[in-house]
A = this chain, B = another copy of it.
């Protein structure tokens, strides 16, 4: 048996900012939910990732509602945590913002094709932890 506990906002932001390299972004295309892994950084109170031109960019660039999730676990212990963000996605087009981000640590594994930058506002964040047996 495993207990589930809720993680508070402050710790959720810490886990998001410092404990993961890869998150999963979920969005809908014509009513079909999709979910794809991305490398990301936390930038202020938003999550930023890069993407190439294509379906994901078209779905995300113009104010789409999205979810963003990170997790980590130890399968043999049946323990782990997850953090879920919901917010609005926008393509970053401000040149000063882009210059600053390009000097930062975020290099998509799929670079250099992924030359569009998406920002997801962190409207709500929640997390839960399973403490293990």
- Interface size bucket, A side? 35 or more
- Residues from chain B with a CB closer than 8 A to the CB of A22 are 71, 73, 75, 80
Contact between B110 and A26, CB atoms less than 8 A apart: no
Q: Is A63 an interface residue (CB 8 A)?
A: no
Q: Is A44 an interface residue (CB 8 A)?
A: no
State the majority secondary structure of interface residues on A: strand
Q: Is A82 an interface residue (CB 8 A)?
A: yes
Contact between B110 and A69, CB atoms less than 8 A apart: no
Closest CB in chain B relative to A72 CB, distance in Å: 10
How many angstroms between the C-alpha atoms of A117 and B33 in the bound complex?
20
Contact between A67 and B35, CB atoms less than 8 A apart: yes
Contact between B109 and A78, CB atoms less than 8 A apart: yes
- Residues from chain B with a CB closer than 8 A to the CB of A26 are 24, 26, 33-35, 67
Residues of A within 8 A of B (CB): 1-2, 4, 21-22, 24-28, 31-37, 65-69, 71, 73, 75, 78-80, 82, 84, 86, 107, 109-113, 130
| A/B interface sample: 25 pairs, CB < 8 A | A2-B109, A2-B110, A2-B111, A22-B71, A24-B24, A25-B35, A26-B33, A27-B33, A28-B28, A31-B65, A33-B33, A33-B66, A33-B86, A35-B35, A35-B68, A35-B69, A35-B84, A37-B69, A37-B73, A37-B80, A37-B82, A73-B109, A78-B109, A79-B109, A110-B130
